Amino acid sequence: MEPIVWEWVNFLVRWLHVITAIAWIGSSFYFIHLDLSLRRRDGLPNGVAGEAWQVHGGGFYNMMKYTVAPPELPEKLTWFKWEAYATWLSGFCLLSVLYYHGAALYMIDPAVLDIPWWGAVLLSLGALGLGWHVYDRLCKSPLGKDDVKLAAAGFVFLVLVAWGLSHLFSGRAAMLHVGALIGTMMSANVFRIIIPNQTKAVAAMKAGQVPDPALGKQAKQRSLHNNYLTLPVVFLMISNHYPLAFGTRYSWVIVAVVLVVGAVIRHFFNSRHAGKPAPWWTWAVAAAGVAVIVGLSAAGARTESAAAAPARVEFAQVEEVVLSRCSMCHAAQPVWEGIGVAPRGVTLDSAEAIGRHAPQIRVWAALSDAMPPGNVTGITPEERRLLAAWTDQLPR
């Protein structure tokens, strides 16, 4: 019964997380577009920096932006913050349900670092807390005065985190945690900087003072970061379904390339929304980046065998490996504790089933080390090599 309950908790929390993230990213894309498309014209009310006309849902909207504040604050003011908070909270729940509860399967890879489950949880919490702290310090340091230098420093920092985590966690948890850290930075930007600064500005206005422009500047810088990090964070969050991304030797380099690819694609849209000439070069950079990622992902599992590939593989050898390393979970009646049904419907408990799943076995266990999770059944590099050679010799 228990695995069934966990399965559903996992599914429902994920459903919530995806919805809140859609709400957050949707409103964020909308406001970035609106902000960039504002135009000045004569005759705008005092304090208005620009206006935009939009048509949607059977009506026309005339949007105006007061950069500092309107002469009088309206009674009802809509704040946009719960999208961000709910995304982080639901994401943290999902991290707990899936990764903390299933640390032995999803976080710990004894070949990387053999730690108890609570050690993995502490490392995860430490990475998120410390990561935010370092990023926040970077922004507030002298580097933070120059957006380009700050972006370069932030990039180096995140790549170091990706590299470091790949020496602590399974490939899957390492990549997901870079995403979780970026998501934490983005939500904390809203929670600790953007909303508090806006609140202070509103309070100052209510007290009849002019709000400190530094507050707005700082908030704008953080929202710029959030904008450029949106596409990479989504890639990293869904990466855990794609073993070639997270479970291969250069996964941490893939993270570095994704940060660039996601940022340049975003830049293309930012420029267009601002009415500037479209920077088509960004697509060339993105395409080159994707080609690099695909190439890197073909480098093989992290634990590579030094032995030469076997020339000819007999099916009996494959069957022996799969039955002894995979079928305790991937069976109609799994015998592994905590696994209630064959994961993702993949059964590997008969010759017929093994043959039918050859392409998946290749991606999940031969070209990457995604399976077995945390290598709990101790598959050897030689056995992966054997699986790879077998799938190679199959007719396509």
Q: Which residues make up the interface to ligand HEC (CB under 6 A)?
A: 105, 322, 325-326, 328-330, 336, 339, 343-344, 346, 348, 360-361, 364-365, 371-373, 376-377, 379
Q: In angstroms, give the least distance from the CB of 383 to ligand HEC.
A: 8
Distance CA 181, CA 22 (A): 18
Least separation in angstroms between residue 171's CB and ligand HEC is 13
Question: Rounded CA gap, 194 and 213, in Å?
Answer: 13
Least CB distance from residue 321 to ligand HEC, whole Å? 7
Q: Which is nearer to ligand HEC, 65 or 357 (CB)?
A: 357
Smaller CB distance to ligand HEC: residue 210 or 394? 394
CB of 343 to ligand HEC, least distance (A): 3
Would you say 282 and 268 are in contact if contact means Cβ atoms under 8 Å apart?
Answer: yes
Q: Minimum CB separation from ligand HEC for residue 328, in Å?
A: 6
Collect all residues with Cβ–Cβ distance below 8 Å to 68 and sequence separation of at least 6.
Answer: 47, 201, 210, 211, 213, 216
Q: Determine contact, residues 317/386, Cβ cutoff 8 Å.
A: yes
- In the complex with ligand HEC, the residue whose CB is nearer, 160 or 238, is 238
Give which of 297, 267, 294 is closest to 283, Cα–Cα.
267
Nearer to ligand HEC, 39 or 241 (CB): 241
Residue placing its CB nearer to ligand HEC in the complex, 202 or 339: 339
Closer residue to ligand HEC (CB): 165 or 361: 361
Nearest to 366 by CA among 328, 311, 318: 318
- Alpha-carbon distances, residue 395 vs 320, 390, 391, 392 (angstroms): 21, 10, 9, 8
Neighbours of 5 (CB within 10 A): 10
At its nearest, how many Å lie between ligand HEC and the CB of residue 353? 11
Identify which of residues 117 and 191 has a Cβ nearer to ligand HEC in the complex.
117
Backbone angles phi, psi at 150, to 5 degrees: -65, -40
**Amino acid code (one letter) for 32:** I
CB of residue 371 to ligand HEC, shortest distance in Å = 3
Is residue 87 within 8 A of residue 24, CB to CB? The reply is: yes
252, exposed or middle or buried, with CB in 10 Å at 0-12, 13-18, 19+? Answer: buried
* CA nearest neighbour of 100 among 180, 40, 36, 218: 180
Task: Output 153 or 342, the one with its CB closest to ligand HEC.
Answer: 342
| Gap between the Cα atoms of 150 and 287, Å rounded | 25
Identify which of residues 286 and 371 has a Cβ nearer to ligand HEC in the complex: 371
Q: How far apart are CA 289 and CA 296, in angstroms?
A: 10
Tell me how far apart the alpha carbons of residues 63 and 148 are, in angstroms, rounded to a whole number: 31
| CB-nearer residue toward ligand HEC: 105 or 244 | 105
- Name the minimum Å distance from CB 129 to ligand HEC: 26
| Nearest-5° Cα angle at 59, 56 to 63 | 75
**What's the CA gap between 11 and 339, in Å, rounded?**
15
Min dist. Cβ of residue 366 to ligand HEC (A): 8
For the CB of residue 221, give the shortest distance to ligand HEC in the complex, in Å.
37
Closest CA to 136 of 201, 196, 90, 198: 196
d(Cα 84, Cα 23) in Å, to the nearest integer?
Answer: 8
Q: Which is nearer to ligand HEC, 279 or 343 (CB)?
A: 343
- Minimum CB separation of residue 323 from ligand HEC in Å reads 9
